[in-house]
Amino acid sequence: MTMSAIEALTNAAVGLVVSWAITFLALPLWGLQPSAMQAGGITGMYFVVSFLRAWLIRECFKRASMKDITT
């Protein structure tokens, strides 16, 4: 696993805990009552998307900087 993937995974994992808490505790403010399991499912979806987004953006920037170095 590359360092950028490890960094993106760490960032997403921290966000996972925060996201679950917000999903479970804040959605009732809008009249939605997710169970702990439903909040986990919603958070899991966001976790995967967050990790992929961070990793892909980081890879794009890394490749762009490599082109600058070689040209």
The residue range of the domain holding 9 is 3-70
Contact assessment for residue 24 and residue 39, using Cβ atoms and an 8 Å cutoff: yes
> pTM of this prediction?
0.60
Provide the domain count of the chain.
1
Torsion-angle region of residue 47: left (phi > 0), alpha (psi -120 to 50) or beta? alpha
Contact assessment for residue 43 and residue 23, using Cβ atoms and an 8 Å cutoff: yes
- Tens-level pLDDT at each residue, the chain (71 residues): 788 788 878 877 888 888 888 888 888 999 999 998 998 898 888 888 877 888 898 889 888 887 767 66
